[in-house]
Amino acid sequence: MTELINNRAYRQEQLKRIIRDLHAGQSVEDVKDRFRALIEDIGGTEISQLEQALIDEGIPEAEIKRLCDVHVSVFQEALDVQPPSESVPGHPIHTFRLENEALEKVIRDLQEVLNRLESSREANQELLNRWQELHTKLSEVEKHYSRKENILFPFLERNGITGPPGVMWSIHDDIRAGLKKTSVLLQQIEVGTLSGDELIKQSEAQVRPVLKAMQDMIYKEEKILFPMCLETLSEGEWQAVAEESDEIGYTLITPSHQWQPTRSRKIETTPTQIPEGHLQLSTGILTLPEIELIFNHLPVDITFVDGDNVVRYFSQGSERIFARTKAIIGRRVENCHPPESVHVVTEIIDDFRAGTRDVADFWIRLKGQLIYIRYFAVRDNAGEYIGVLEVTQNVTPIQELKGEKRLLDDA
């Protein structure tokens, strides 16, 4: 066992040297012979550990990302002989792999459509319609990536693996940006602003690289990420991943089996040990001062009236739209409105209580601003009426938004 550990440590150090040489500018061919001499049974987990170690030693994640495909190219001969990550139906990895199979089929179909468009050298409407259909399906990858980023990666981070998920997330964003550009391209085709030759040019420069990036991501998941996750996460953690996944949804498939762990209890996604002074909520822990500060920093005014029509709370934002004073706490809501409009409030609450309405919306002009006023029925998990939440917001700045803003203003 000691010899095995020592050999592994030696191999890790030599492999890190190879990766550093790649980052210093050596070619893949220059290092492949050195690499072959070191590996026999290297797997995805060891590759991820290498990248994590390099990040821990100071190589920026952006640099790891830049040469990520080069890393995979160097390791590909070893990875290709690794068996697939097996799992039972319903297990999150099994679901991820089914999604990848569906995505690969869509990618192949879309590549065939692009080949036919390029052969015809004209914007054939039937092929364009098929392209739009396949692009819509391909955009469903967002759910696949979102489950990785928001469910799977947090559990890896809890197990000390932070670098590789960060690199992968950045590549997700590159793919998202590419898919968005393709959506714009398809809109241009629809309005007839692109010739057949321009369409072919854009396809080669813009669309095919995105498809290649998606195929590469599938390979990295199958050969590196999934084996590493199966070695790292406990059954209890996998159960938590499975239970959280439905909220985000799935890409092109629907899991057909309900998987359950055989041994471990589920790992809670929120801490079981609550620090003193904190309150346990269903989606986290907060102190009372934090809760009050959060409410007061919301870009809306909120007021809560309980099931007995008594005002119980209002937020104190920096720019209140309607005046509120602490004197209204404990006051019946009917007495907080002028007689001419109280019948509207009563009707809303009666509808909420009866279950015939869940939301009531109003908007008015006030001092040159458009004010959006919304009332929401608050119900418990059993559907019982608990009260009404009033949310008021000045939406004038929102109406004025145009285009996009992706850069941070100077402080």
Residue 272 buriedness (CB in 10 A; 0-12 / 13-18 / 19+): exposed
Distance between CA 248 and CA 151 in Å, rounded? Answer: 9
Query: What pLDDT digit, counting tens, does each position of 385-401 carry?
Result: 999 999 999 999 999 99
**pLDDT of amino acid 54:** 66
The label of the residue with tokens 């999150």 reads: 92
Instruction: Answer for the pair 103, 141: CB distance below 8 angstroms, yes or no.
Output: yes
pLDDT reading at 47 higher than 70: no
Please report which confidence band the pLDDT of residue 192 belongs to, taking 50, 70 and 90 as the band edges.
Answer: low
pLDDT tens digits for range 107-118: 999 999 999 888
**Contact 167/61 with Cβ under 8 angstroms?**
yes
If you average pLDDT over residues 331-360, what whole number do you get?
91
DSSP state of 149: I
- Of residues 270 and 124, more confidence is placed in 124
DSSP state letter for 334: G
Q: Residue 293: CB partners within 8 Å, gap ≥ 6?
A: none
- Choose from 1-10, 261-270, 354-363 the range with maximum mean pLDDT: 354-363
Structure confidence at residue 200 as a pLDDT band (50, 70, 90): confident
| Sheet strands (E) in 181-294 | 278-281, 284-287
Q: What is the mean pLDDT of the chain?
A: 83
Taking only the tens place, the pLDDT of each residue in 326-335 is 888 999 998 8
- pLDDT tens digit string along 91-107? 999 999 999 999 999 99
Identify which has the larger pLDDT, 409 or 48.
Answer: 409
Coil, helix or strand at residue 51: helix
Q: What six digits make up the tokens of 402?
A: 């145009």
Cα–Cα nearest to 158, from 68, 244, 233, 86: 233
Specify the pLDDT at position 39. 54
Look up residue 310 and give its DSSP letter: B
Q: Structure tokens of 23?
A: 């980052």
Average pLDDT over residues 179-202: 81
pLDDT at residue 165 greater than cutoff 50: yes
In the block, tokens 């004010």 appear at 371
pLDDT band at 3 (very low <50, low <70, confident <90, very high): very low
The reported pLDDT for the residue numbered 17 is 76
pLDDT at 1 over 50: no
Confidence at residue 80, expressed as pLDDT on a 0 to 100 scale: 61
Relative to beta strand 278-281, strand 301-306 is unpaired
Check if the beta carbon of residue 46 is closer than 8 Å to that of residue 228.
no
Q: Are strands 359-366 and 278-281 parallel, antiparallel or unpaired?
A: unpaired
Task: Name 316's bridge partners.
Answer: none
CA-to-CA separations, 151 to 86, 198, 231, 239, in angstroms, rounded: 20, 41, 17, 11
The Cα 53–Cα 87 span in angstroms is: 28
Distance CA 161, CA 166 (A): 9
Quote the distance between the C-alpha of residue 255 and its chain's center.
19
Of the candidates 124, 253, 126, the one whose C-alpha atom is nearest the C-alpha of residue 196 is: 124
Q: Which of 98-102, 122-126, 248-252 has the lowest mean pLDDT?
A: 122-126
% of the chain exceeding 70 in pLDDT:
77
- Which residues lie closer than 8 Å to 74 by C-beta, 6 or more apart? 18, 22, 28, 31, 32, 35
Contacts for 385 with CB less than 8 Å, ≥ 6 apart: 307, 352, 353, 355, 377, 378, 379
Among residues 208, 205, 211, 192, which one has the least CA distance to residue 123? 192
